[in-house]
Structure 1
Amino acid sequence: MSTNALYTDLSGYYDLMCADIDYQAQSNSVRRLHQIFGSTGKDHLDLACGTGPHVRHFIDFGYNSSGLDINQPMLDMARLRCPEAQFTLQDMCAFKVDEPVDLITCFLYSIHYSGAIDRLKACIASVHKALKVDGVFCFNAVDKHKIDNNSFARHIVEHDGSQFTFSSGWNYCGHGDKQSLRLSIEKTTLDVKQSWEDEHPMVAVDFAELQELLQPYFEVHVFEHDYEKIVPWDKVSGNGIFVCVKI
């Protein structure tokens, strides 16, 4: 099964897949970062918005939020969750906005879905063009040199008479600009077990390379991947939150 087919066919299970994510804490942390580094403007766009949970929180914070994604079933679910928001079917590496915004976010390491360095560059350029002066671009990323191919995140969810086991982990071969996200989904209903496995192609960068790509467009700040407190990146950990102010 292709990557896009899996993503589409399992759209109804996406929220279960992400059931252990604290969307409120993530959204609130980025709101605080925007208050520190950005303007008082409230126009917000979420890239790769999925089913819209982050958009929901930003609306509740008082933002005029919108979202884009390449997956129509996801957007259909996002519209149900956030009927007051505008959602568009667009590629985050080549998107346009009607009017510039104050804040652009990209959560859940989705910046890596750019897939290749040239497309990542195009994404960064599109974001810069879509932001107002002093606008903020905030996203999280993983450093390719810090990936442990043997490390997997795993959680179990009970839903509608079935048990779902989700696991995911990064994989990097050790060279080049390609990495992947390996996914495994197992569904058990009345002792009948079904399973899906897939590997999503991702762009691989280290943090020095990523900062180099961003710096022609932004003033770049990197923080530890901690949504409870704001701590500068220690230059050792492999996960970070990037806060980029348009210049």
Structure 2
Amino acid sequence: MANNLYTGKMAAIFDAMYQTFIDYDEEYEFYNTLIQEKKCDSVLEIGSGTGNLAKRFEENNHNYLGLDYSQSMIDIAQERNRNSTFIHGDMRNFVLENPVDAIIITGRSTSYLTNNEDVIDTFESVYKNLNPNGIFIFDFIDANRFIPFIKENLTILHEATYEGINYIRESHWETTPMENFMLDWSAQYYKIVDSEKEILLDDFSTVRVFTLNEMQLFLYLNNFEIIKIIDRKTYAYDTYVIMAKKIL
């Protein structure tokens, strides 16, 4: 589940780069609109990271909880959001003190559910921690569009500037011969110093992308009814966002 990027000082590099990659005001409005459609009061964000969405939820007086696998990310999030509560935990197996009205998995964190058991365990944990008729919202990378994209683009470059520092991420993706749509993702993170690239981190992860049909079946088998499917463009890759309701 974890990789180098989310630990130690590199959590701060992640935070800096994604401040540029993602419009967090827009991201908050997107999720808040879905949550308010169903008049949800309490919300848990899985993959809360360094607390950028938490900041918006806190500013708008939501009953918000964050959960993340990385303690380093939580430390940054807690410093940024003194009045919010963050839980160090695993989305595959967590128990809240009190169930919530809505659970969202953000930032394509579903990519780290690399086998079917991971997905089922996560969906079961989400189900158990939702109130009756609770809402489940999550995004995932669309395998049908992403795999052709990486076969045509051997190196994917992302550039970001934050607080006067220029960052570059060079990503390389390789499909792996497994039963699921698994990918080996290697990435080099640099900052620009005197017009030269200075390496910050050489990172490696194994991740999974999904078809829409796969996710529909996982939800059906875990007692969720799909309310809507949103085809959403993001900063790097085409994703789907699914909004589903807990079935009693």
Which TM class, normalised by the smaller chain length? Answer: 0.7 to 0.9
For residue 97 of structure 2, what is the aligned residue in structure 1?
A: 98
For residue 186 of structure 1, what is the aligned residue in structure 2?
A: 190
Spell out the pairing of 1:51-200 with structure 2 (5 A cutoff): 51-147=50-146, 148-149=149-150, 150-151=152-153, 152=156, 154-159=158-163, 162-168=165-171, 171-173=174-176, 176-177=179-180, 178-190=182-194, 193-195=197-199, 196-200=201-205
Say whether the 8 Å CA contact 2:3–2:203 is kept in structure 1.
Answer: no
Between 128-137 and 169-178, the greater mean CA deviation after superposition? 169-178
For residue 222 of structure 1, what is the aligned residue in structure 2?
A: 229
Measure, in 2, the Cα distance between the counterparts of 1:243 and 1:174: 31
Say whether the 8 Å CA contact 1:169–1:181 is kept in structure 2.
Answer: yes
TM-score, structure 1 length as denominator? Answer: 0.85
In 2 relative to 1, CA 101–170 (structure 1 residues): closer, same or farther, beyond 3 Å? farther
Measure, in 2, the Cα distance between the counterparts of 1:13 and 1:54: 17
* Offset, 1:174: 7.4
Deviations 1:74-121 (A, max 9, x none): 101111111111111101111110100011111111111122221111
Between the two proteins, the alignment pairs up a number of residues equal to: 234
**Secondary structure at the counterpart of residue 215 of structure 1:** helix
Q: Once the two structures are aligned, what percentage of the paired residues are identical? A: 24
Measure, in 2, the Cα distance between the counterparts of 1:238 and 1:97: 32
TM-score, structure 2 length as denominator? Answer: 0.84
For residue 32 of structure 1, what is the aligned residue in structure 2?
A: 33
List gaps (5 residues or longer) in structure 2: none
Asked if 1:202 corresponds to 2:207, the answer is: yes
List gaps (5 residues or longer) in structure 1: 228-236
* Offset, 1:50: 0.6
Aligned residues: CA RMSD: 2.4
Measure, in 2, the Cα distance between the counterparts of 1:24 and 1:170: 30
For residue 231 of structure 1, what is the aligned residue in structure 2?
A: none
In 2 relative to 1, CA 35–98 (structure 1 residues): closer, same or farther, beyond 3 Å? same
Say whether the 8 Å CA contact 2:47–2:109 is kept in structure 1.
Answer: yes
**Secondary structure at the counterpart of residue 25 of structure 2:** helix
In 2 relative to 1, CA 22–168 (structure 1 residues): closer, same or farther, beyond 3 Å? farther
